[in-house]
Amino acid sequence: MNYSAAHEVALDKFQSCSLEEMSRCSGYPIKDNSLLIDFLGQHFELDYPRGTFKPIQVSDGELPIATQILILHYVSNLSEPFEVGSFISYKELPGGAIYIKPFTGRAIDPLVRIFGSAPESLLAVAKHLGGQANGLGDVGITYKVFPRVPIALILWRADEEFPASGNILFDASAPTVLPTEDFAVLASTVVFGFKRIKARL
């Protein structure tokens, strides 16, 4: 997929916002002329106004362009989301019911494939990143991907009758934070980010 047009649009919006407002609404602190971004255990300085991501340590690596777009969307949204504390599914997001099949293939199926046979490893990764158990399913965790965007990953173990299954839920405030399509990218990014960390633990 060609992300360059989407990146340009995201960059324009980022540059039209003030650094102070973006920090206040996103929850990311300012250092010099940058926002300090902590994302799935990686740390970056997001330069303002250029919109470039500079890794704080070499080990932080580089961010894929789709993830950069996601972060730019989040910081330039400028709404002040208030977490509701209750979760909704992807199909409850605006227009989400139409895209539930691709969402399942992109995020829920990989979650089950990667963690279904050892759900405890999901909890280990979440705790490593500052997430916590939420009591949902056989193993469920809540993790704040962005300072104001909690996401719940839930697994049910396989038994004699059913294979392992899973679900991914979002705080009910989600529609005020990002467009529905972004939550599909976000959920998939979290699952594969957790996979990367699982391999290192």
- Average pLDDT of span 185-196: 97
Alpha-carbon distance of 123 to 35, in angstroms, equals 29
Contact indicator for 112, 155 with CB cutoff of 8 Å: yes
Whole-structure pTM value: 0.95
CA distance 143 to 201: 17
Terminal C-alpha separation, the chain: 32
Cβ–Cβ < 8 Å for 76, 13: yes
Residues 6 or more apart in contact with residue 78 via CB below 8 angstroms:
17, 21, 22, 25
- Provide the percentage of residues in the chain whose pLDDT is more than 90: 93
Residue 46 contacts residue 34 (beta carbons within 8 Å): yes
The tokens for 196 are 């990367």
Our CA angle for 141, 151, 181, nearest 5°, is 145
Architecture of the domain spanning 87-199: 2-Layer Sandwich (3.30)
pLDDT in tens, 167-187: 999 999 999 999 999 999 999
pLDDT digits (tens, 9 = 90+) for 102-152: 999 999 999 999 999 999 999 999 999 999 999 999 999 999 999 999 999
Residue for token digits 């990686």? 42
Pick from 37, 97, 99: which is nearest to 62 by CA?
37
Report whether 43 contacts 60 (CB < 8 A). yes
Domain boundaries, the chain: 3-76, 87-199
User: In the chain, what percentage of residues exceed pLDDT 70?
Assistant: 99
